[in-house]
C-alpha cells in the first residue's frame, strides 16, 4: 500500500463494476479523445486497407470491398492508459482473423499502421482468435473521425492506445518493434490487468 | 521518429507540498519538493496517486507546469465537477502533505528551447499548463526563437498565470501573448472576444513558411477545431502536436 493521503476518501465504483476495472483505472461515462495531432479526414473513396509484410503488399481492400467483408457485433470494456475505463462499449468490425484468412506468412508480430505514420506493435497471437477487429461503427453509428473513423483497430484486452485510430494496414513482422507511443516510454505490450503502462512496468 | 533510450521502470516517489497558489477560484498550483525527481522536459506529465486509509487508490495524470530548470516540481490542477482526485488536490491538500508521483511521462508533446522554428502555442482553459511549462523553459534557457501564445479563457478572472504571462511578455525576447475571452470581458476590453476560429488563427498564427512548431492543448472540441483550422491554413499535420482532455470526471 502506498503513502496514506490525509483526508482522501475517494469515490469507489460499485462492487460489480469494480471487478471489471483493472488496477489504477476509474470509470467514465463519456468517451474521452486522445491523439497526438490533428484529426485526419480521408474521403472514403481514397481509403484503403492493406495487409503487407516487410517487403510486399499482400492484400488490399477499398472501403467498399472492406465493408463487404463479414463483420461482427462486439461488446467490450475498454481501458485507456491515461486511467479511464469504459464498460460495455459496442462496436461493429471485421475480425483480424477474416483479414488474414489465406495469407501465408511466418510472422510473430504485427505493426498496425495508421494515417499520419502512427504505428503500434502487437504480438500476432494477440490479434487472432477473435481478440481484435478493424472497427467501423461505434454505439450504432459510423465511427466518428475524432474517435478514429472511418475505421480503427480494436484490441480491447490491451490498453486502448493499441487500438490504433485511423488504421490503414497491418504489417506482418518476424520480430517485435516499438510503435509510436512505445517509442516514447509506454509499455511494449500494455496489459491493463498487469498495469503495464510504461516501459519496464 | 526519435527512439527513446531503453530505460528502467518508473517508480513511485514521494513529493512534499511546499507551496500552494490559487490561480483562479477553481485552479490551484501545487509546488512540490521531490528529492528523487529524475528531471523532465517541457510538455511532459506526471502521474499522481492518492491512497485512502482503507487502501483504496486513485491515479490521474497532470501536466507539469514548472520548467525543467526550476528547483521545485509544479502541477496546476483544475477542480472538475465530481472529480475525485482534483477535488482533493484543489480543496483538501495542505502544505506539508505528501503526494505519490510517477514520471515524467510522454515524449512527443515536448518542446526544447534549442528547437528551430518559431513556437506557436494555442491553449484553451487549463490547457495552458504544459504550454506555460514551455514558456518558462524558454525564459529559463534564454531562448530567442520567436514564441506566440494564443490563449482562450472564458473570462479575465479565469485566465490562469495571468500576471506571470504579462511579465513574460514584457521581458526582453518575451513571447507575444494574445488573449481571447469567450464569455465575458472586462470593461474597455479591446482584445478578441470569441472562440478561436479560422480568421483568428489566420491573424495570430505564424506564416507557414517560417516552419513553426505548434502545440495545442485544451478540451477536445477546442483542440479538434484549432488543429483542424491550422491544417486548413497549410500547417503540416506532423508539425501540430496536440493534447486533449475530455470531461473525464478526473
pLDDT of residue B5: 45
* Model confidence pLDDT, tens digit, residues B50-86: 999 999 999 999 999 999 999 999 999 999 888 899 9
Distance separating alpha carbons of residues B57 and B119, to the nearest angstrom: 39
Asked if the Cβ–Cβ distance from A38 to B98 is below 8 Å, we say no
pLDDT of residue B245: 75
Determine contact, residues B70/A28, Cβ cutoff 8 Å: no
pLDDT of residue B1: 36
The answer on pLDDT for A22 being more than 50 is yes
- Nearest by CB to B246, which of A32, A39, A40? A32
Asked if the Cβ–Cβ distance from B241 to A40 is below 8 Å, we say no
Which cell is A138 given? 461505434
Strands B13-24 and B98-105: antiparallel
Distance separating alpha carbons of residues A144 and B193, to the nearest angstrom: 30
Residue B250: pLDDT band with limits 50, 70, 90: very low
Cross-strand partners of A113:
A119, A169
pLDDT of residue B6: 45
Asked if the Cβ–Cβ distance from B244 to A35 is below 8 Å, we say yes
* Model confidence pLDDT, tens digit, residues A182-196: 999 999 999 999 999
Asked if the Cβ–Cβ distance from B92 to A8 is below 8 Å, we say yes
Cis upstream peptide for B104 (omega within 30°):
yes
The answer on pLDDT for B218 being more than 90 is yes
Three-state SS at A97: helix
Task: Write down the mean pLDDT value for chain B.
Answer: 93
Asked if the Cβ–Cβ distance from A198 to B56 is below 8 Å, we say no
Integer Rg of chain B from CA: 18
Distance separating alpha carbons of residues B173 and B55, to the nearest angstrom: 50
Q: Output the 3-class SS for chain B.
A: CCCCCCCCCCCCEEEEEEEEEEEECCEEEEEEECCCCCCCCECCEEEEEEECCCCCEEEEEEEECCCCCCCCEEEEEECCCCCHHHHHHHHCCCCCCEEEEEEEECCCCCECCCCCCCEEEEEEHHHHHHHHHHHHHHHHCCCCCCEEEEEEECCHHHCCCHHHHHHHHHCCCCCEEEEEECCCCCCCCCCECCCCCHHHHHHHCCCHHHCCEEEEEEEHHHHHHHHHHHHHCCCCHHHEEEEEECCCCC
Chain B: closest CA distance from residue A143 (Å): 16
Residue A32: pLDDT band with limits 50, 70, 90: confident
The answer on pLDDT for B238 being more than 60 is yes
Report ipTM for this prediction.
Answer: 0.89
Q: What average pLDDT does the segment B136-146 reach?
A: 94
Give the C-alpha distances (Å, rounded to integers) separating B20 from B32, B42, B58. 9, 21, 21
- Predicted TM-score (pTM) of this structure: 0.92
Asked if the Cβ–Cβ distance from B7 to A185 is below 8 Å, we say yes
Distance separating alpha carbons of residues A197 and B49, to the nearest angstrom: 14
Q: What average pLDDT does the segment A130-156 reach?
A: 97
The answer on pLDDT for A18 being more than 90 is no
A30–chain B Cβ distance below 8 A for any pair = yes
The answer on pLDDT for B3 being more than 60 is no
Residue A29: pLDDT band with limits 50, 70, 90: confident
A130–chain B Cβ distance below 8 A for any pair = no
B2–chain A Cβ distance below 8 A for any pair = yes
Determine the residue among A1, A2, A3, A5 to mutate to test chain B binding: the one whose Cβ has the most chain B Cβ atoms within 10 Å: A5
Chain B: closest CA distance from residue A99 (Å): 28
Distance separating alpha carbons of residues A80 and A84, to the nearest angstrom: 5
Nearest to B14 by CA among B66, B51, B45: B51
Distance separating alpha carbons of residues A73 and A75, to the nearest angstrom: 7
Q: Which residue of A has its CA nearest to B231?
A: A38
pLDDT of residue A198: 95
pLDDT of residue A1: 64
* Model confidence pLDDT, tens digit, residues B107-135: 999 999 998 889 999 999 999 999 999 99
B130–chain A Cβ distance below 8 A for any pair = no
pLDDT of residue B143: 87
Q: What average pLDDT does the segment B134-156 reach?
A: 96
- Compute the C-alpha angle A21/A25/A31, nearest 5°: 95
The CA-based diameter of chain B, rounded to the nearest angstrom, is 58
Residue B99: pLDDT band with limits 50, 70, 90: very high
- Compute the C-alpha angle A179/A183/A184, nearest 5°: 130
Give the C-alpha distances (Å, rounded to integers) separating A31 from A85, A138, A144, A149, B226. 9, 11, 12, 14, 20
pLDDT of residue B7: 57
* Model confidence pLDDT, tens digit, residues A93-140: 999 999 999 999 999 999 999 998 899 999 999 999 999 999 999 999
B179–chain A Cβ distance below 8 A for any pair = no
Amino acid at each position: 500500500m502506498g503513502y496514506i493521503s490525509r483526508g482522501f476518501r475517494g469515490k469507489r465504483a460499485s462492487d460489480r463494476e469494480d471487478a471489471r476495472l483493472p488496477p489504477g483505472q476509474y470509470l467514465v461515462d463519456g468517451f474521452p479523445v486522445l491523439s497526438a495531432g490533428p484529426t485526419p479526414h480521408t474521403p472514403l473513396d481514397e481509403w484503403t486497407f492493406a495487409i503487407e509484410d516487410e517487403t510486399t503488399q499482400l492484400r488490399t481492400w477499398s472501403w467498399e470491398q472492406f465493408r463487404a467483408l463479414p463483420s461482427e457485433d462486439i461488446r467490450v470494456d475498454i481501458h485507456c492508459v491515461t486511467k479511464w475505463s469504459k464498460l460495455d462499449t459496442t462496436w461493429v468490425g471485421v475480425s483480424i482473423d477474416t483479414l488474414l484468412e489465406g495469407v501465408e506468412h511466418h510472422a510473430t508480430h504485427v505493426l498496425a499502421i495508421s494515417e499520419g505514420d502512427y504505428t503500434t506493435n502487437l504480438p500476432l497471437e494477440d490479434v487472432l482468435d477473435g481478440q481484435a477487429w478493424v472497427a467501423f461503427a461505434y454505439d450504432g453509428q459510423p465511427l466518428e473521425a475524432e474517435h478514429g473513423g472511418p475505421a480503427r483497430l480494436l484490441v480491447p484486452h490491451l490498453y486502448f492506445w493499441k487500438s490504433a485510430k485511423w488504421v490503414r494496414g497491418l504489417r506482418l513482422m518476424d520480430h517485435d518493434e516499438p510503435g509510436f507511443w512505445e517509442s516514447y516510454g509506454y509499455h511494449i505490450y500494455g496489459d491493463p490487468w498487469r498495469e503495464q503502462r510504461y516501459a519496464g512496468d | 521518429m526519435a527512439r527513446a533510450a531503453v530505460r528502467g521502470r518508473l517508480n513511485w516517489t514521494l513529493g512534499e507540498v511546499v507551496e500552494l497558489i490559487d490561480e483562479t477560484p477553481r485552479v490551484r498550483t501545487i509546488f512540490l519538493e521531490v528529492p528523487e525527481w529524475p528531471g523532465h522536459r517541457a510538455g511532459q506529465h506526471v502521474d499522481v496517486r492518492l491512497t485512502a486509509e482503507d487502501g483504496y487508490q486513485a491515479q490521474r495524470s497532470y501536466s507539469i507546469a514548472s520548467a525543467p530548470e526550476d528547483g521545485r516540481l509544479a502541477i496546476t490542477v483544475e477542480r472538475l465537477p465530481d472529480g475525485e482526485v482534483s477535488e482533493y488536490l484543489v480543496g483538501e491538500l495542505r502544505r506539508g502533505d505528501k503526494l505519490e508521483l510517477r514520471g515524467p511521462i510522454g515524449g512527443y508533446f515536448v518542446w526544447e528551447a534549442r528547437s528551430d522554428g518559431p513556437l506557436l502555442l494555442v491553449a484553451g482553459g487549463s490547457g495552458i499548463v504544459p504550454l506555460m511549462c514551455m514558456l518558462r523553459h524558454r525564459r529559463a534557457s534564454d531562448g530567442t526563437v520567436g514564441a506566440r501564445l494564443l490563449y482562450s479563457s472564458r473570462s479575465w478572472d479565469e485566465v490562469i498565470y495571468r500576471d506571470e504571462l504579462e511579465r513574460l511578455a514584457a521581458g526582453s525576447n518575451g513571447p507575444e501573448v494574445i488573449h481571447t475571452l469567450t464569455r465575458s470581458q472586462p470593461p474597455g476590453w479591446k482584445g478578441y472576444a470569441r472562440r478561436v476560429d479560422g480568421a483568428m488563427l489566420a491573424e495570430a498564427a505564424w506564416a507557414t513558411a517560417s516552419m513553426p512548431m505548434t502545440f495545442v492543448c485544451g478540451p477536445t472540441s477546442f483542440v479538434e477545431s484549432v488543429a483542424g483550422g491550422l491544417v486548413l491554413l497549410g500547417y503540416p499535420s506532423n508539425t501540430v502536436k496536440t493534447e486533449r482532455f475530455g470531461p473525464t470526471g478526473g
